[in-house]
Amino acid sequence: MTALTPLREIPKQNIFKQGDVFVLFGELFGRGYVNGLIDEARDAGMTIVGITVGRRDDDNRLRPLTEEELAAAEDNLGGRIINVPMMAGFDLDAPEGEPTPTDMLGGMTIKNWQDEKLDWSQVERCREVGVKRFKDSMAQVVAELEDMIPDGANAYFAHTMAGGIPKVKVFLAIANRIYKGRGARFMSSRALLDSDLGRFIMMNFDEVSANTFQYLIEGTTQIRQRLQKSGGEVCYSAYGYHGTEILINGEYRWQSYNNYTQGYAKKRLEGIAEEAWAKGIKATVFNCPEIRTNSSDIFVGVELSLFPLLTSLKIEGGGDWAESQWEACRKLLSDEISLEGLLQNIEDYNADEVITEFRNYEAWPMDNTEALAEVMVGTSGDITAKHKDKRALITDHLSGLVLEGTGPLMFHEMSNPSAPVLWLNHDIIAKQLNMMHN
Ligand SMILES: NC(=O)c1ccc[n+]([C@@H]2O[C@H](COP(=O)([O-])OP(=O)(O)OC[C@H]3O[C@@H](n4cnc5c(N)ncnc54)[C@H](O)[C@@H]3O)[C@@H](O)[C@H]2O)c1
């Protein structure tokens, strides 16, 4: 098991400059974490290159972006996009004419999914096709990158891929019960993990969220060796999640959202960085705090750990800017609700014995329980209801701050990384934000 290794000092070194290349390995979406990192690369004057996951036609065939889509995506990124579809996972792959895993899951219903069995030899055949497709696309991307990264330049590869939920109707209903359900509508994540559907999803998570990091590191070996021989440095970062230290009753304590079903893939991702590191490759997984993005909105309650960041902002070198963040958040609450009162609600939540039982780093990722859902989903709803407008939440504001803070921490750390796995907890993020704004 990976030891808990938080980043405690703000890294300030920077080797990246104009002429160096920043490669985004994942597609840029609106609120995503990687925005913070791209801002840094842009400020350093680096050339920004991206990829696309591609799009699916009506018959599910994967295709590159159309000219119009490409122009919009390049505009959004502020850099060139290599237009080869890099969708990972194998939920829609199969040998020609054979059923894909999505076809195989198509017959499952909310009544029968726990008993339905999959043909694992067929799943394996599909996995092989999907991995080959991804690696072949990777080779095309690398061939284009060879021409875009000159000798002697430094290259920063930023992995951001995470996902792998198959598009089958039944999973939507199951996810609603596991991640949002209470009382009679609740279902434990263990039921999913013990089913064939769950086992397949875990395999697909591994492919998308972990193995792609390995394919990236392996696929760019030649580029890495060429650049290193000509005086350049090459590094790889990825976003992990393995809980976060936040302020609880005045102390930084490790806690986590449960059940983080992707946790198994995230542990695998850490292992990939550790293996690469042992071979002398600068690869680091940054375990980042819970924030609200397109990918995390399904996990109701994941946002509750964000609130204590406000207190961290005050105690980690806070000044006028930290005060202004409190004021900005205060304004989002209904008139009769005080921010201090809301933070006390979060302290009470974190002191609840149902919640404290889940602060178990060794046992992570833990299955959820009905009692947990009752407290977590319930508190999430109560806190949201204290806002003036459900579409303008304190956690939206704080998510933006966290991603802003992680950008420079990761960017500077990767100039001379200290470990293959690092946690960016609320302490260092608050320090970084105060340093930037005071
Ligand atoms: N949101 C959080 O609370 C949180 C916390 C810690 C770490 N992270 C990690 O940060 C990273 C970015 O996530 P985010 O939350 O900013 O959301 P996001 O939706 O902005 O990013 C998800 C990324 O995954 C890529 N992706 C999704 N499915 C894919 C597939 N099948 N094949 C290839 N790529 C695929 C997307 O292109 C996108 O780049 C992820 O690795 C995520 O696990 C998120």
Q: Whose CA is nearest to atom 28 of ligand 1?
A: 163
CA atoms within 13 A on the CB side of 158: 29
pTM of the entire structure?
A: 0.97
**Top-level CATH class of 21-182+189-300+399-425?**
alpha beta
- Ligand 1 atom showing the smallest separation from residue 29 Cα: 20
| Residue ranges lining ligand 1, Cβ < 6 Å | 26-27, 29, 32-33, 53, 87-89, 160-164, 208, 239, 241, 288, 290-291, 293-296
Q: Whose CA is nearest to atom 14 of ligand 1?
A: 32
Dig out the tokens for 380 from the structure: 């999430």
Cis preceding linkage at 259, omega within 30: yes
For residue 112, how far is its CA from the centre of ligand 1 (angstroms)? 31
Q: Whose CA is nearest to atom 34 of ligand 1?
A: 161
The confidence score (pLDDT) of residue 176 equals 93
For residue 87, how far is its CA from the centre of ligand 1 (angstroms)? 12
Q: List the end-to-end C-alpha distance of the chain, in Å, as a whole number.
A: 38
Mutate to test the pocket of ligand 1, among 161, 208, 261, 286 (most ligand atoms within 8 A of CB): 161
For residue 293, how far is its CA from the centre of ligand 1 (angstroms)? 8
| Rounded Cα–Cα distance for residues 380 and 382 (Å) | 6
For residue 237, how far is its CA from the centre of ligand 1 (angstroms)? 13
Q: Whose CA is nearest to atom 29 of ligand 1?
A: 163
Q: Give residue for tokens 């290259």.
A: 155
- Ligand 1 atom showing the smallest separation from residue 163 Cα: 28
For residue 380, how far is its CA from the centre of ligand 1 (angstroms)? 22
The confidence score (pLDDT) of residue 31 equals 77
CA distances from 193 to 174, 183, 188, 376, 389 (A): 12, 20, 9, 21, 36
Q: Whose CA is nearest to atom 5 of ligand 1?
A: 290
- Ligand 1 atom showing the smallest separation from residue 294 Cα: 19
Q: Whose CA is nearest to atom 4 of ligand 1?
A: 290
| Annotated domain spans of the chain | 21-182+189-300+399-425
Mutate to test the pocket of ligand 1, among 160, 258, 421, 422 (most ligand atoms within 8 A of CB): 160
The confidence score (pLDDT) of residue 295 equals 81
Tell me the chain's radius of gyration from C-alpha atoms.
22
Q: Which of 111, 103, 244 is nearest to 170 (CA)?
A: 111
Mutate to test the pocket of ligand 1, among 24, 27, 33 (most ligand atoms within 8 A of CB): 33
CA atoms within 13 A on the CB side of 421: 21
Q: At what angle do helices 263-278 and 196-205 cross, to 10 degrees?
A: 30
- Ligand 1 atom showing the smallest separation from residue 266 Cα: 43
pLDDT by residue for the chain (438 residues), tens digit each?
Answer: 678 999 999 999 999 999 999 999 999 987 789 999 999 999 999 999 999 999 999 889 999 999 999 999 999 999 999 999 999 999 999 999 999 999 999 999 999 999 999 999 999 999 999 999 999 999 999 999 999 999 999 999 999 999 999 999 999 999 999 999 999 999 999 999 999 999 999 999 999 999 999 999 999 999 999 999 999 999 999 999 999 999 999 999 999 999 999 999 999 999 999 999 999 999 999 999 999 988 888 899 999 999 999 999 999 999 999 999 999 999 999 999 999 999 999 999 999 999 999 999 999 999 999 999 999 999 999 999 999 999 999 999 999 999 999 999 999 999 999 999 999 999 999 999 999 998
Q: Give residue for tokens 């205060």.
A: 330
Q: Whose CA is nearest to atom 18 of ligand 1?
A: 32
Q: Whose CA is nearest to atom 23 of ligand 1?
A: 161
The confidence score (pLDDT) of residue 200 equals 98
CA atoms within 13 A on the CB side of 175: 16
CA atoms within 13 A on the CB side of 233: 14
- Ligand 1 atom showing the smallest separation from residue 209 Cα: 41
